[in-house]
Amino acid sequence: MVTDTQATETLESLPKMLPGTVCVQWQKCGRKNCRCTRGELHGPYFFRFWREDGKLRKAYVKRSELETVRKQCAARQQQRLQLRQGLNDWRNLRDLVREHEPDGRSSDRDNR
C-alpha cells in the first residue's frame, strides 16, 4: 500500500508542466507626458499565453519565475510532441497489421 508520504514524493518528482508559451511585451502606460507616448515603451514584461476553452489567456510572469515557467512550458510542449509521435507510430503499426490481415479478418473465436 502507498503511504501519503510516498504519494506526495511521487507527485513532487513528476515534472511540472504548463500549457502555452512565454512572450515578451513592451507596453504604453497611457499617461500624457510619459516617454512611452514618444515611442519609448515600458518593458520588457513577460507573459505566458495559452488557450483554454477556446479562448486565448494571458498571465504575467515575474522575472524571478521566468526560467521556471519557461522550463515548465517547454516540458509540456515536449510531452505533447512525444504523444503525437507515439500516436503516429501506433497508426503506422495499425496500418501495417491491416495490410497483412486476411480480407475476412477472421479471429480464433470465429473458428470455434
Q: In this structure, are residues 41 and 28 in contact, taking their beta carbons and an 8 Å threshold?
A: yes
pLDDT at residue 107, rounded to an integer: 53
Report CA 32 to chain centroid distance, whole Å: 40
Question: So what's the pLDDT on residue 8?
Answer: 63
Mean pLDDT (10-residue bins), the chain, 112 residues:
66 75 94 92 96 96 95 94 96 93 61 50
Quote the pLDDT of residue 95: 93
Can you say whether the dihedral through the CA atoms of 64, 67, 69, 72 is positive or negative? negative
Residue-level pLDDT at 56? 97
Q: Which of 89, 61, 63, 83 is nearest to 73 (CA)?
A: 61
